[in-house]
Amino acid sequence: MFAVIKSGSKQFKIEEGQTIRVEALPAAEGDSLEIKDVLLVDTGEEVKIGTPTVENAVVTARVLENGLDDKVIVFKKKRRKQYKRLRGHRQQYTALKIDKIQL
């Protein structure tokens, strides 16, 4: 059984027991979350596709950690103009362990 959920502005294909990293959520480590933005559920026998979400479908997940991702370097340069800009960005994330997919 798998499902496709929406978190932030991204979609994730998930299964029970899987660990995923999503954009930062307002939850502490150890908290349990219910994700109701379920776009698709495949039980192996049937596929339910939402319009835009599947009704009564809930994914239960547990927060493993909140942290910062690796640094992404943004470097801009224009040759022969003495123009250089160096910026770095570290995106916040929340690691989730998927406990249950319910219909």
pLDDT 10s digits, 3-52? 999 998 999 999 999 999 999 999 999 999 999 999 999 999 999 999 99
End-to-end CA distance of the chain: 11
pLDDT 10s digits, 86-100? 999 999 999 999 999
What is the residue whose two structure tokens read 């979609």?
Answer: 11
Distances (CA, A) of 88 to 8, 72, 84, 92: 22, 6, 14, 13
Euclidean distance between CA atoms 68 and 33, whole angstroms: 20
User: CB count, 10 Å around CB of 61?
Assistant: 27
Q: Which residues contact 26 (CB under 8 A, 6 or more apart)?
A: none
Domain ranges of the chain: 2-102
